[in-house]
């Protein structure tokens, strides 16, 4: 599971939770409770409908969640090869969407939160010159191994690419934006790293997905480390506010196999679902269980573009 945990903090982790005095997307101050996730209340802004954890978890709470094995935990199950196969099939789907949106596979591609490097590998195979940023040193080592010498993998956070202004043709954020403390600031940094006309692909859980509507307070994406929960509407507003344009949404297809889904719910149990998946696995032939299939589960995919001409709200070029 690729992710960028948080923007860099040089001080010792604080144990204080961080209440947001206003909605970070629209500035409103009235919130409605939505769910309680392991003692963390999730609320919905009454004005723009953005959902977020309120108060936000402390640095110490997040540090405890993001242990050394967090990024690769899902890859290190006995079904490792099955999961890798599904992730690469999903990566190919995202790359197809990027090419349909006009991305040229010869360009420079940046992925923040590159995990074990499965997306970067598929991009590299198509001809992109790839750069990955990943906070977990262990995951970076795995990603370098995956890439076998092509591309570059940087250990750290988004400030590592601060000097890469206007360098990239494409940027990809898979299951990252919901983990970031300040999404607006984060997206403006991405905008700065893209060339004019460059393309951004964002994948994130969606509160408008069928699984969110069906499962309600038991939605599997409700996790303490998910700080924000977007819908197509709120994600569009967040992207537009950061200076992106031409935003298009696509169905949140991921390639999943039964074994992949079962492994996920073993790690993140939801009452009833884990038992049902165990029963389904016992009844299903191995070849069928392992084959990745396109499923619309809990996410959305947004594709946005950096305007070709300088944007007055988000460009700081000298």
Helices 137-147 and 118-126 cross at an angle (nearest 10°) of 30
Encoded one letter per residue, x for contact with Zn ion by CB under 5 A and - for no contact, window 284-303 reads: --------------------
Residue 207 CB, nearest approach to Zn ion (Å): 13
Residue 185 CB, nearest approach to Zn ion (Å): 17
Taking phi over 0 as left and psi of -120 to 50 as alpha, with beta for the rest, 197 belongs to left
Residue with tokens 């998910």, as numbered in its chain: 226
Residue placing its CB nearer to Zn ion in the complex, 45 or 258:
45
Residues 35 and 220 sit within 8 Å (Cβ to Cβ): no
Residue 23 CB, nearest approach to Zn ion (Å): 3
3-state secondary structure of 183: helix
Residue placing its CB nearer to Zn ion in the complex, 187 or 263:
187
Residues 231 and 208 sit within 8 Å (Cβ to Cβ): yes
Interface positions, 14-53, toward Zn ion (CB under 5 A): 23, 25-26, 28, 45, 47-48, 50
Residue placing its CB nearer to Zn ion in the complex, 22 or 310:
22
Encoded one letter per residue, x for contact with Zn ion by CB under 5 A and - for no contact, window 48-87 reads: x-x-------------------------------------
Query: DSSP state, 275?
Result: H
Q: List b or e across 151-173, with b for residues whose CB sees 16 or more CB atoms inside 10 angstroms.
A: bebbbebbebbeeeeeebbbbbb
Residue 31 CB, nearest approach to Zn ion (Å): 8
Residue 310 is encoded by which pair of tokens? 């300088």
Residue placing its CB nearer to Zn ion in the complex, 28 or 245:
28
Contacting residues toward Zn ion, per CB under 5 A: 23, 25-26, 28, 45, 47-48, 50
């Amino acid at each position: 599971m690729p992710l960028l945990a948080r923007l860099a903090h040089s001080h010792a982790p604080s144990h204080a939770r961080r209440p947001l005095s206003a909605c970070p997307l629209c500035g409103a101050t009235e919130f409605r409770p939505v769910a309680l996730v392991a003692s963390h209340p999730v609320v919905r802004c009454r004005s723009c409908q953005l959902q977020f954890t309120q108060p936000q978890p402390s640095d110490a709470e997040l540090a405890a969640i993001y242990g050394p094995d967090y990024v690769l935990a899902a890859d290190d199950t006995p079904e490792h090869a099955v999961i890798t196969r599904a992730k690469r099939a999903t990566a190919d789907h995202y790359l197809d969407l990027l090419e349909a949106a006009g991305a040229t596979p010869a360009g420079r591609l940046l992925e923040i939160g590159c995990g074990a490097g499965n997306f970067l590998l598929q991009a590299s195979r198509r001809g992109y010159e790839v750069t990955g940023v990943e906070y977990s040193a262990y995951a970076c080592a795995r990603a370098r191994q995956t890439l076998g010498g092509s591309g570059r993998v940087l250990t750290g956070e988004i400030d590592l690419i601060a000097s890469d202004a206007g360098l990239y043709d494409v940027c990809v954020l898979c299951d990252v934006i919901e983990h970031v403390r300040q999404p607006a600031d984060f997206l403006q940094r991405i905008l700065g790293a893209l060339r004019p006309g460059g393309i951004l692909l964002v994948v994130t859980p969606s509160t408008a997905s069928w699984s969110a509507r069906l499962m309600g307070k038991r939605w599997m994406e409700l996790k303490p480390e998910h700080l924000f929960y977007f819908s197509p509407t709120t994600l569009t507003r967040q992207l537009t506010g950061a200076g992106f344009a031409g935003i298009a949404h696509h169905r949140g297809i991921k390639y999943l196999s039964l074994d992949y889904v079962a492994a996920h719910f073993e790690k993140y149990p939801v009452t009833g679902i884990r038992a049902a998946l165990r029963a389904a696995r016992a009844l299903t032939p191995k070849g069928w269980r392992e084959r990745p299939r396109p499923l619309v589960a809990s996410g959305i995919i947004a594709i946005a573009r950096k305007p070709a001409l300088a944007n007055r709200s988000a460009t700081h070029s000298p």
